A and B are shown apart, each in its own frame.
Chain A
Amino acid sequence: MTNEPDASNEILLEMRGIRIDGYSDEQWHPIIKGVDLTLRRGEIMGLIGESGAGKSTLGKAAMGYTQPGCKLTGGSIMFDGIDLAKASDREKRKLWGTRIAYVAQSAAASFNPAHRLIDQTVESSTRRGIRPDAESRADAVELFRALQLPDPETIGSRYPHQVSGGQLQRVMTAMAMSPRPDLIIFDEPTTALDVTTQVEVLAAMRNIVEEFNTAAIYITHDLAVVAQMADFIQVLRYGEEVEQAPTRQMLTKPEMPYTKSLWSVRALEKPEVKGEDIVLSIDHVDAAYGPLKVLHDVSISLPRGRTVAVVGESGSGKSTTARVMTGLLPPLTGTIMFNGEPLPPALKDRSKDQLQRIQMIYQMADTAMNPRQTVETIIGRPLEFYLGLTGKAREERVIELLKMIELDGSFLDRLPSELSGGQKQRICIARALAAKPDIIICDEVTSALDQIVQEGILKLLLRLQKEFNITYLFITHDIATVKAISDEIVVMFEGKVVEQGLKSEILSPPFPEYTQLLLSSVPEMDPDWLTNLLAARSA
C-alpha cells in the first residue's frame, strides 16, 4: 500500500465545501465547517483527528448520510456523477450497501443480534439483486476464507454473540465487500480490538481492498494504524482541514504545528527507577468469578513511589488483579501483604485506614461519578469520610486539590456533564488523591481519551507521584502508555503472569513468546511496519 496518489485515475468521490450542523443544547452548532475531499478509484485515504473533530460525521457524509440530530447545510458530494447532497433517500438507498459500504467501529453493536451472520452478510447484495442469493452466499464463504476467518464454511450460520470481536470485524468487512462496492468507509474499525487482534484484522482488510481495487476512507485517531492503510492522509480539527499530504510525507515532514503535536505525543518516556521498599504485594493468588477461574498463581509486588504497569489483552486478568488488591474480589488462595502486614482479603473486613490507603481511578470517568453530584461533593466525600473535614475546611481542601490537578475553584459547582473527558478524569484523580492514599490503582485511565489529552493526564500523574511519593498500579493495553509512565512491567496472558521486571528488561530482547507477540503487534509510525511484520511472521 501507501502508493503515491496517482492523478491519472478517475475521480470517484469529490466533496466540496461540506458544512454540517449538529443539534445540541437546543441550538444548531457547526460540526463540519467547509471541508473538501477528493478520492480517486482504488485510493485509500486516511482521515484522522481527535474525538469531536468531525471525522466520523464527514465519513458518513461521504455516503450522503447524516446522523439524526445533524444536517447538511452546504456543499456538494459528487459520487460518480451523482450529487448525494441533493439525492433523494430512495436514490441514496440504492447506492448504500451496494456501491458504497460502511464498516462500523463496534462490530459487536453493529450486527443485528437476531440474525445469522451470513444472512446479514448477503443482505444488501440480495436486496438489490446483484446476483442470485445462493451465489452471494457462496461468494460470502469465499470472502470469509480470504479474510482468514476460522471455519469459513460454517461461521456464517452463527449468531453475532457466538464469535469474537476480531472475527466480527472481519465478517463486517466481508459484509461490506459482498456487493463489490466502489467505496468503503472504515469508521475506526480496529479501535475496540486488542493490539494482537488488530494486526490480523488490519492485514485482512488491507489485502481485500487491494485485491478488489476498492477505494476507501479510513477513519481513525491512531496515526500508526492509518500509516499502514492509507495512500494519503487528511488531518481534521474542530471540523476543519488542518493539512493533507501523501502518507510518507505526512509522517516525516508534517507542516502544521497541530499535526506536529499529534506526532510528538508518543515520545513521552519516563526514566525508570528501581524500587526497594515493597508497599503492597500479592503472593500466589488464584481468583475466580463463580466457577470461572481467571487468575492462576499470580504474584505481583508494588515498590513504594513507583509505577508498575500491568499489560495484556482483554480477558488476561489485569482488572481482576486490581479487584483482588482492592478487596472487591477476595482470592481463593494466596495472600495480600500491605506494609509488611497481611491485609484482609475481603473489602468488608478491612479497616477504614486500610481502605484509605488504596484508591482507584477507572477507565470510564463518566460512569465512575454520580451525574447528579457537583465536583465539590464528589471530591469532598472522601475528605469527610476518611479525614473528617467539613464546612469551610473541606471546601478549602477541595480547591487545593483542584489546583493540584491544574483546575481551579470555579469548578466547585459544576456537574460531571459540564466537563470535558479530560477534566472528568482529572476530577477522578483528585477524588482518589483526596484520601491521601499510598497506592492508586489506575484501570485503563487513559484509553478512552484522545492522545493529546492522554499526554496531559499522564504528565499530571507523574508529577503527583513525584510530589506525594504515590505508588501506581497502572493497568493498560497500550504499550506507548507503558513506556511513558512505568518503572516496572508485568505482562499477563490468560490469567497468568508471563513476565515481570524493570521496564528496560521487559522491553529489550530476548522476549518470551507472548511478550514478543504483544510488543511486535503495536503499530509503529512507519508505513512499511505491517508489511515487514507480516513478512517476518510468515518467515
Chain B
Amino acid sequence: MANNALTASCSVRNFKKIDGTRPSVKQGNARLNAVLATILKRLGLGLATLFVVSGIIFSSISMLPGDFSEAVLGQAATQETVAAFRKELGLDKSAPVRYFEWVGSVLQGDLGTSFSGRNASGQDRSRQVSDLVMPRLWNTLFLAGVTALIAVPLALFLGLTAALYRNTAYDRIVNALTLTTISTPEFFVAYILILFLASLWPVFPSLANIDATTDLGERLYRVALPALTLTLVIVAHMMRMTRAAIINLLASPYIEMARLKGASQSEIILKHALPNAWSPIATVIAFNLAYLVVGVVVVEVVFVYPGIGQLMVDAVTSRDIPVVQACALIFAATYILLNLTADIIGIVTNPRLLHPR
C-alpha cells in the first residue's frame, strides 16, 4: 500500500518533470530538424556539384590528344583495325552518349572496365576499374588518416600556443619553422627525411611499399616517412590559420570583458576565443585533408607508395580513360565531402544558426 503510494507520487513527480521539460525538448527537436534540413540541403547541393564536375571531367578528358586504341596499336595499324578496336571499347559512340552511359553506370555503382589488359588480337585480360582503384584508394586514405592524426592536433596545439604566447620568441620560432617546411618543395622535404631518418640513421624504411597482406604495425612503420613529410607540408597552413583566427578574436569586446572578469590568458584562448573560431579553422583543415587525398602523387612517387595518385598518373599516360575518370570523380567527391563537413562544423558551432531567435 505504502509502496503503491510512493510509486504513485514518484510517477506524478516524474510526470510533472517530463511535462516541465516538454517544451524545451520539442524546441530542441525543432532546432535539430532545422539543422538536419540544412545539412541535407548542403548534401543535395554537393551532389549537384558532383554532377557538374562529372561533366567537366568527361569533357576535359575527351580533349586529351590521342586515344587508347592508337596508344596500344601504334603508328602502323590500319584504319580498319583502329576502327574495330574503337568499336569494341565503345569509343565510336558520340560523346554525349558515352557521357550518359558513364554517369548511368556510376550511379549504379559500376565504375566500368579498365582499358588496359586488352589488345587488338581480341584477348581481354582487363579488370574492373573498382578492383584497380579501391585498394589504391584505401592505401591513400590510410596514409591521409595517419598524417591527419599527427598533423591536425599538432597544428591546433602550435596555433593555440602561438596565439597564447604571441610575439614571443616561441611564436616567432614556430612561425619561422612551419613557414620553412611549407616553402620547401615536398620532394625535397622527403629526400631530406630519407637522408637523415633512413640513410644516416636508419630508423624508418625509405620505401613505403605495402600490399593487402601487410599488417597494421608494419604498415604504420612503413608509412612513417611519407606521413612525416606530408605533416611538415600541411601543418603550417593549419597552424597559421588557427593562430590568426584566435588573434583576430582577441580584439573583440567580449574578450576584453572576459579579461575584466578575471579570466586567465589560457582560459581566454580556450574558453572564450576558440569556440568562436572553429568555423575558419575547420575550413582550412578540410582544405588540407583534401590535399592529402588528391595532391600527394609526388610523395607517393618518392616513397614508391601504392596510392591513388600514382594510379591516376599511370592511367593518364596510357589513356586508360575509365580509370582516369574514376580517380577524378573520387577526388572531386573528396573535396566536396570535406568542405561539406567543414560547413557543418561551422553550423553546429555557431549558436546563431543552431539556436535561432
Q: Which residue of the partner chain, among A111, A123, A161, contacts B352 with CB atoms under 8 Å?
A: A161
* Bound CA span A104–B258, Å: 11
The answer to the question of B222 belonging to the interface, with a C-beta cut-off of 8 Å to chain A, is: no
A112 touching B262 in the complex, CB below 8 Å, given contacts A159-B351, A162-B355, A162-B357:
no
* Bound CA span A206–B351, Å: 32
Q: Which residue of the partner chain, among B253, B267, B352, contacts A104 with CB atoms under 8 Å?
A: B253
Which residues of A have CB within 8 Å of B272? 112, 114
CB within 8 Å of A: which of B260-298?
Answer: 260-264, 267, 272, 275-276
Q: Which residue of the partner chain, among B253, B351, B357, contacts A110 with CB atoms under 8 Å?
A: B253
Which residues of A have CB within 8 Å of B257? 102, 104, 110-112
Q: State how many angstroms separate the Cβ of A154 from the closest Cβ of chain B.
A: 8
- Which residue of chain A lies nearest to B261 when distances are taken between CB atoms in the complex? A97
The reply to whether A97 and B260 contact each other, CB–CB distance below 8 Å, is yes
Binds B, one of A88-96, A432-440, A444-452, A519-527: A88-96
The answer to the question of A326 belonging to the interface, with a C-beta cut-off of 8 Å to chain B, is: no
The answer to the question of B349 belonging to the interface, with a C-beta cut-off of 8 Å to chain A, is: yes
* Bound CA span A223–B252, Å: 28
Q: State how many angstroms separate the Cβ of B90 from the closest Cβ of chain A.
A: 51
A112 touching B256 in the complex, CB below 8 Å, given contacts A93-B262, A96-B261:
no
Q: Which residue of the partner chain, among B258, B349, B352, contacts A112 with CB atoms under 8 Å?
A: B258
CB within 8 Å of B: which of A95-134?
Answer: 95-98, 101-102, 104, 106, 109-115, 123-124, 127-128
The answer to the question of B254 belonging to the interface, with a C-beta cut-off of 8 Å to chain A, is: yes
The answer to the question of A24 belonging to the interface, with a C-beta cut-off of 8 Å to chain B, is: no
The answer to the question of B127 belonging to the interface, with a C-beta cut-off of 8 Å to chain A, is: no
The reply to whether A93 and B264 contact each other, CB–CB distance below 8 Å, is yes
A65 touching B259 in the complex, CB below 8 Å, given contacts A110-B254, A113-B254:
yes
The reply to whether A161 and B357 contact each other, CB–CB distance below 8 Å, is yes
Interface centre among B261, B351, B357 (most CB of A within 10 A): B261
Q: State how many angstroms separate the Cβ of B62 from the closest Cβ of chain A.
A: 44
Interface centre among A111, A112, A123 (most CB of B within 10 A): A112
Q: State how many angstroms separate the Cβ of B34 from the closest Cβ of chain A.
A: 14
- Which residue of chain A lies nearest to B275 when distances are taken between CB atoms in the complex? A114
A127 touching B357 in the complex, CB below 8 Å, given contacts A113-B254, A114-B351:
no
CB within 8 Å of A: which of B337-357?
Answer: 349, 351-352, 355, 357
Q: Which residue of the partner chain, among B252, B254, B256, B261, contacts A124 with CB atoms under 8 Å?
A: B261
* Bound CA span A106–B254, Å: 10
The reply to whether B260 and A113 contact each other, CB–CB distance below 8 Å, is no
Which residues of B have CB within 8 Å of A63? 260
- Which residue of chain B lies nearest to A176 when distances are taken between CB atoms in the complex? B261
Q: State how many angstroms separate the Cβ of B35 from the closest Cβ of chain A.
A: 15
Which residues of B have CB within 8 Å of A102? 257, 260-261
A127 touching B352 in the complex, CB below 8 Å, given contacts A109-B254, A113-B276:
no
* Bound CA span A94–B355, Å: 34
Which residues of B have CB within 8 Å of A159? 351-352, 355
Which size bracket describes the interface of B in this complex?
Answer: 20 to 34
The answer to the question of A420 belonging to the interface, with a C-beta cut-off of 8 Å to chain B, is: no
The answer to the question of A351 belonging to the interface, with a C-beta cut-off of 8 Å to chain B, is: no
Q: State how many angstroms separate the Cβ of B257 from the closest Cβ of chain A.
A: 4
The reply to whether B261 and A114 contact each other, CB–CB distance below 8 Å, is no
The answer to the question of A67 belonging to the interface, with a C-beta cut-off of 8 Å to chain B, is: yes
* Bound CA span A115–B275, Å: 9
* Bound CA span A466–B253, Å: 44
The reply to whether A112 and B254 contact each other, CB–CB distance below 8 Å, is yes
Chain B interface, DSSP helix/strand/loop, else mixed? helix
The reply to whether A97 and B262 contact each other, CB–CB distance below 8 Å, is yes
- Which residue of chain A lies nearest to B23 when distances are taken between CB atoms in the complex? A154
The reply to whether A114 and B276 contact each other, CB–CB distance below 8 Å, is yes
Q: Which residue of the partner chain, among A67, A106, A113, A124, contacts B262 with CB atoms under 8 Å?
A: A124
Which residues of A have CB within 8 Å of B357? 161-162
The reply to whether A112 and B276 contact each other, CB–CB distance below 8 Å, is yes
Which residues of A have CB within 8 Å of B252? 109
Q: State how many angstroms separate the Cβ of A458 from the closest Cβ of chain B.
A: 30
Which residues of B have CB within 8 Å of A96? 259-262
- Which residue of chain A lies nearest to B276 when distances are taken between CB atoms in the complex? A114
Which residues of B have CB within 8 Å of A115? 275
The reply to whether A123 and B261 contact each other, CB–CB distance below 8 Å, is yes
- Which residue of chain B lies nearest to A157 when distances are taken between CB atoms in the complex? B24
A67 touching B256 in the complex, CB below 8 Å, given contacts A96-B261, A113-B351:
yes
Interface centre among A60, A123, A158 (most CB of B within 10 A): A123
* Bound CA span A96–B252, Å: 18
Which residues of B have CB within 8 Å of A128? 262
- Which residue of chain B lies nearest to A111 when distances are taken between CB atoms in the complex? B254
Q: State how many angstroms separate the Cβ of A133 from the closest Cβ of chain B.
A: 15
Which residues of A have CB within 8 Å of B267? 127
What mask results when residues 454 to 471 of chain A are scored 1 for a CB within 8 Å of chain B, else 0? 000000000000000000
* Bound CA span A392–B183, Å: 53
Which residues of B have CB within 8 Å of A162? 355, 357
Q: State how many angstroms separate the Cβ of A117 from the closest Cβ of chain B.
A: 11
Q: State how many angstroms separate the Cβ of A1 from the closest Cβ of chain B.
A: 25
Q: State how many angstroms separate the Cβ of A456 from the closest Cβ of chain B.
A: 30
Which residues of B have CB within 8 Å of A95? 262
* Bound CA span A214–B263, Å: 22
Which residues of B have CB within 8 Å of A104? 253, 256-257
Q: State how many angstroms separate the Cβ of A189 from the closest Cβ of chain B.
A: 13
CB within 8 Å of A: which of B225-274?
Answer: 252-254, 256-264, 267, 272
The reply to whether B263 and A127 contact each other, CB–CB distance below 8 Å, is yes
CB within 8 Å of B: which of A122-177?
Answer: 123-124, 127-128, 158-159, 161-162, 175
Q: State how many angstroms separate the Cβ of A3 from the closest Cβ of chain B.
A: 28
* Bound CA span A109–B254, Å: 6
Q: State how many angstroms separate the Cβ of A118 from the closest Cβ of chain B.
A: 14
* Bound CA span A124–B349, Å: 24
- Which residue of chain B lies nearest to A100 when distances are taken between CB atoms in the complex? B260
Q: State how many angstroms separate the Cβ of A140 from the closest Cβ of chain B.
A: 14
A161 touching B254 in the complex, CB below 8 Å, given contacts A114-B276, A127-B263:
no
Which residues of B have CB within 8 Å of A101? 260-261
Which residues of B have CB within 8 Å of A112? 254, 257-258, 272, 275-276
- Which residue of chain A lies nearest to B251 when distances are taken between CB atoms in the complex? A68
Which residues of A have CB within 8 Å of B349? 114
Q: State how many angstroms separate the Cβ of A60 from the closest Cβ of chain B.
A: 8
Which residues of A have CB within 8 Å of B253? 104, 106, 109-110
Which residues of A have CB within 8 Å of B258? 112
* Bound CA span A175–B258, Å: 11
* Bound CA span A128–B263, Å: 10
Q: State how many angstroms separate the Cβ of A22 from the closest Cβ of chain B.
A: 15
Q: State how many angstroms separate the Cβ of B246 from the closest Cβ of chain A.
A: 13
- Which residue of chain A lies nearest to B349 when distances are taken between CB atoms in the complex? A114
Q: Which residue of the partner chain, among A60, A127, A161, contacts B351 with CB atoms under 8 Å?
A: A161
* Bound CA span A536–B184, Å: 76
* Bound CA span A296–B141, Å: 60
Which residues of B have CB within 8 Å of A161? 351-352, 357
Q: State how many angstroms separate the Cβ of B151 from the closest Cβ of chain A.
A: 26
Q: State how many angstroms separate the Cβ of A383 from the closest Cβ of chain B.
A: 39
Which residues of A have CB within 8 Å of B355? 158-159, 162
Which residues of A have CB within 8 Å of B262? 93-98, 124, 127-128
B residues near A (Cβ < 8 Å) are 252-254, 256-264, 267, 272, 275-276, 349, 351-352, 355, 357
A114-B351, A127-B262, A161-B352 known; 14 new pairs, CB 8 Å cut-off, are A65-B259, A93-B263, A96-B261, A97-B260, A102-B257, A102-B260, A111-B257, A112-B257, A112-B276, A114-B276, A114-B349, A128-B262, A159-B351, A161-B351
User: What are 25 A-B pairs with beta-carbon distances under 8 A?
Assistant: A63-B260, A93-B262, A94-B262, A96-B259, A96-B262, A98-B262, A102-B261, A104-B253, A104-B256, A109-B254, A110-B257, A112-B275, A112-B276, A113-B276, A114-B275, A123-B261, A123-B263, A124-B262, A127-B262, A127-B267, A128-B262, A158-B355, A161-B352, A162-B357, A175-B261
- The 7 A-B pairs with the shortest beta carbon distances in the complex, nearest first, are A97-B261, A97-B262, A114-B275, A96-B262, A109-B253, A102-B260, A159-B351
